[in-house]
Structure 1
């Protein structure tokens, strides 16, 4: 397991902590792989509850652009696909999944939050989907399913930042709770999760979180990311105004 991710393995819950605070927990390939393998391991052991949070000043800054100059467009496309595979694994999980988020969060980092069934933010948390500026359609349908088409269209097309209060208003967040309250929230989540049997929970999630859209999401992502000039579009987005 990578040093970029720590997993606290409790009896009824695994707590995943993104641990790359010097890079705002940006999704380097090693971190994406560690998340993918950690989620798969939790599924294999039938862990009923997975919780995701970030170390440092935020949950996750999204895609890591630090090697943009040396990576090929094929490399970037492969990395983006791996992120979508990880997101789909999380979104279709038979476990209860909870995101505990804080600070400024962007792109694929917000997509991780959207892939969780229950989402809690600290006051002052903010969210932004900038990827559409360089033509990337990643996690769009999952966000739409939570907040509705009109809210998703307005937020995604404007690429604007929205805060925790607005997120709660449009149901992207269920609660606003400060980090010092999170340990008790985790304990309460473990108790609540025990109300249903594992079989009942899995059947319920299979109905509520249909995996039929998985291939459509991946296809939309590949079409958007594989259009010629991906690196140039990213550079234009990153260029200071």
Structure 2
């Protein structure tokens, strides 16, 4: 009998049951926004799962939303350099998820914005609850993050429109574009996890990994270079503050 083991580390709840590792973002009061600590905790957990025999890595969010994006709190205490480092660490996390040696599954609900949508799109399998909404607003403060990955998922022109238009799309539109593989309510997620896990037994892990490598171009160096160039532009903090002020005025 497999016994689930769960614990929390730095705003992240981790549950492991046999070959399945669930990483549950645990900052519900902040919409599971990606703080510096949460990104580092996720990176460490993904690295551990890549070494411990995990075959299915599941990303979820506790509370009302999967992930509302890059945490914009506490900007006054951060410099351009601090913020640039956070984005570089975030890209490192997204690359680790995208190139995870096993299968990855994102289960999204609520608002999935910015870096949260990038985290969702970095997973190989992506299920959205019926009322989920997605948006990629990072371009508004000049950050180039996850562009090639999104283009590989939804197509280059559709990705360009999603990023540059910054529009919010619902679960049906996400499903139609390929951003979400399917729409299912949270009550159905345990069965979907079990079905995906059962399907993994049909192909040897090394064969699955080889097929994934062949079909998933390794653009990590170029992705990091694009991001680094965008966050190195002077005034990163001011651009983010301007964006935060803008959305605050609209709310």
Q: TM-score, normalised by structure 1?
A: 0.97
Q: Please list the CA deviations of residues 19-73 of structure 1 after superposition, one character each: whole Å capped at 9, or x if unmatched.
A: 1100000001111011100000011113111011100001001111111010111
Q: Please list the CA deviations of residues 116-172 of structure 1 after superposition, one character each: whole Å capped at 9, or x if unmatched.
A: 001000001001111100100001111111111111111111111011100111111
Name the residue aligned to 2:145: 138
After superposition, residues 1-241 of structure 1 pair within 5 angstroms as 2-211=9-218, 213-239=219-245, 240-241=249-250
Name the residue aligned to 2:4: none
Q: Which whole-Å CA distance do the structure 2 matches of 1:98 and 1:17 have between them?
A: 12
Is the contact made by 2:127 and 2:182 (CA closer than 8 Å) also made in structure 1? yes
Q: How many residues align?
A: 240
Gaps of 5+ in 1: none
The CA RMSD measured in Å over matched residues stands at 1.0
Is the contact made by 1:92 and 1:210 (CA closer than 8 Å) also made in structure 2? no
- TM superposition shift of 1:224: 0.6
Q: Which whole-Å CA distance do the structure 1 matches of 2:113 and 2:212 have between them?
A: 27
Gaps of 5+ in 2: 1-7
Q: Which whole-Å CA distance do the structure 1 matches of 2:82 and 2:17 have between them?
A: 36
Q: Which whole-Å CA distance do the structure 1 matches of 2:43 and 2:161 have between them?
A: 31
Name the residue aligned to 2:5: none
